Amino acid sequence: MSEYPIIYEDDRSGSKPPVRADNPIKGLLFGVAGASGLGAIFAGLSTSDFVNHLDRQVHQIHCSFIPGAGAELGESGCRTVMMSPYSSLFRESMWGGLPISLWALAVFAYLIFRSTEFALRPSLRRKETLFLVAATGLPLMMSLIYGTLAAVKVGAMCKLCVGVYLASMTSFGLALAAHLKLPEEHGYDPSGPPYARWFGEGVLYVAVMTVLYMVAVPTSDKSLKGCGTLAKKDDPHGIMVPLSSGKGGTPAVAVLDPLCPACKAFEDRLDTSGLVGKLSLNAVLFPLDASCNWMVKESLHPGACAVSEAMLCDKDGADQILAWAFEHQEELRGEAAKDEAKLRRRLGEVFPKVKGCVGSAAIKNKVNKSLRWAVANALPVLTPQLFVGDRRVCDEDTDLGLEYTLAAMLADPGKSTGKGGKK
C-alpha cells in the first residue's frame, strides 16, 4: 500500500527515516486476524445453532470450547442462553429475532479484513492501528455486557459465548500491543487515516448480514394462526388458577404441570418476554402424574397431583405454591417418587392454609375436573400449553418465537391471520 503516507519517527525536526511495519507488528496484526477468525467460528457456530431452530424443531446445540464439538440435545447453559431474550433483538417483529451472534460474526469478519489489510501493508501509522484498537474494543465491550447479563440475568453461561469473549479479549489485546509497539508520531502528517470509510466498511458488513438475514429468515403462517382453539373455555367448576404474573387485558390460559421443567422454563420466558403484563393469565393444572391423571401410563412428574391439589386448595396463594414448586422441582419429584404422603405432609407444613385440604375427596375431585377440562377441549397430553384468547400458541412457538407469536396474537386476538413470519 505504497500510496499511504510514510511514517516518520519525528523529533520535531522531520529528519528521521520512515518506520516500516516490521515482522513483530505484522505478527501481532495477523494474531488479531487469527483471534478474530476464532471469534468468527464461535459466532458462526452460535448463529448456525440459532438458525437451525428457525425450523421450529428441537436441535442439538454446540456447547464446547472446542469449535464444532460438544453438540448436545438436552438442557445446557448454551440452550438456556440461546432461549433467553438476550440472545436476539427485535423478537416481537421477527420469529426468533435477529441473533446477536450474527452481528458478532459480521464484526469478527470485518476485523479479520481490517487486521489482515493492515498486516499486508509495508508501513503503518499509530493513528491507523488506533482504529483497530477501537474496532476490537467493540466486541470486547459487548462481551463484557453480555457476559454480565449471562451471569446476572440468565444465570447460565454458554461455552460458545465464552469462546467469543476470549477471542474478543485476545484480538483487543493483540491490537493494543501492535499499536503500542509502533512509535509515537509527532511530526509531519499530511493526511489523517480514512476513519469514516473504515467505519463505513464495518457498518457495511453488519448491514449486509442483517439485511440478508431479514430477507431470508424462514417464515410460516402457522405461528399466527395458532394450533387449535378452545372449544369449551368456560370454567363452571372453578378449576382455573389466576396467576398474578399476568393481570393485563387479553384473557389467556396456561396449561401447566407444577413439577414439569419445561413449564418452569416457559414461565421464565413468559415473564422475561415483557408481554405477560398484557395478559390476564389463568392456569389450568394438568399434572403429568399417573396418581391422578389416567392419560399417562407412568408418572412423568411424581408429586404433581399433590402440588396441584395444594394450588387448588389455596387459589389466592397458588402463585407462591407454584413458585415454590418450580424452585424445588427435582427435589419434590424425587420425594414423591419415594413417598407421596411425605410430600403431602410437607405441603401442609410449608403452606399451612392447605393443611387438611390436600388429599381430601373434594380437592381430588377438583383436580379431576381440571383434567376433564383438558378432555373437553381435546388438548394434547403435554405441558406447557398457552392459549391467547381462544387460540392455542403452537408448541414450537413457545420458546424462540414466543415474543413474536404473542405480540402478533395480542395485536389480533380475535381472528387468525394468514400473514407471513415477519410483520
Partner 1 sequence: MNGRYVGLLVGLLILPAILVTVWLRNAQARLDNAEQAASGVAIASASEDAYCSPQLKQILRRVAGACGLLEGGARGCKPTDAKNVAALSGDDFNALFKPLNHRASIIQFDADTGALDEPGQQLVEKAWSDQRGASFFFVVSRASPDGNAERNQELSQERAQAVLQHLETRFQDPDIRKEVGLLWLGEEFAQLTDEFCAWTRSRGGECTAKDINRSAFVAWIDCAI
By CB under 8 A, name the binding residues for partner 1. Answer: 1, 40, 44, 47-48, 51-57, 102, 105-106, 109-110, 112-113, 116-117, 120, 201, 204-205, 208-209, 212-213, 216-220, 227, 236-237, 292, 294-295, 361-362, 364-365, 368-369, 371, 374-375, 377-382, 394-396
For 76-108, the DSSP string reads: -HHHHHHHSGGGEE-TTTBTT-EEHHHHHHHHH
Nearer to partner 1, 178 or 393 (CB): 393
Q: Nearest approach, Cβ of 191 to partner 1 (angstroms)?
A: 15
Backbone angles phi, psi at 255, to 5 degrees: -90, 115
Alpha-helix residue ranges (DSSP H) falling in 226-328: 261-272, 304-313, 318-327
Element spanning 331, H or E? helix 329-338
Q: Nearest approach, Cβ of 205 to partner 1 (angstroms)?
A: 6
Buried b (16+ CB within 10 A) or exposed e, 277-305: ebbebbbbbbbbbbbbbeebeebbbbbbb
CA distance 297 to 54: 33
Nearer to partner 1, 87 or 156 (CB): 87
Q: Nearest approach, Cβ of 402 to partner 1 (angstroms)?
A: 14
CA distance 32 to 403: 37
CA distance 209 to 331: 45
Nearer to partner 1, 276 or 371 (CB): 371
Task: Establish how many alpha carbons lie within 13 A of residue 410's alpha carbon, considering only the half-sphere containing its beta carbon.
Answer: 22
Q: Nearest approach, Cβ of 303 to partner 1 (angstroms)?
A: 18
Q: Nearest approach, Cβ of 119 to partner 1 (angstroms)?
A: 11
Q: Nearest approach, Cβ of 104 to partner 1 (angstroms)?
A: 11
| C-alpha cell recorded at residue 148 | 454480565
Q: Nearest approach, Cβ of 248 to partner 1 (angstroms)?
A: 27
Q: Nearest approach, Cβ of 95 to partner 1 (angstroms)?
A: 10
| CB contact set of 390 (below 8 Å; sequence gap of 6+) | 229, 230, 233
Letter for the amino acid at 42? F
CB 128 within 8 A of CB 120: no
CA distance 197 to 219: 35
Residue 388's DSSP bridge partners are 252, 391
Nearer to partner 1, 209 or 279 (CB): 209
Nearer to partner 1, 161 or 394 (CB): 394
Nearer to partner 1, 237 or 353 (CB): 237
Nearer to partner 1, 152 or 196 (CB): 196
Nearer to partner 1, 121 or 355 (CB): 121
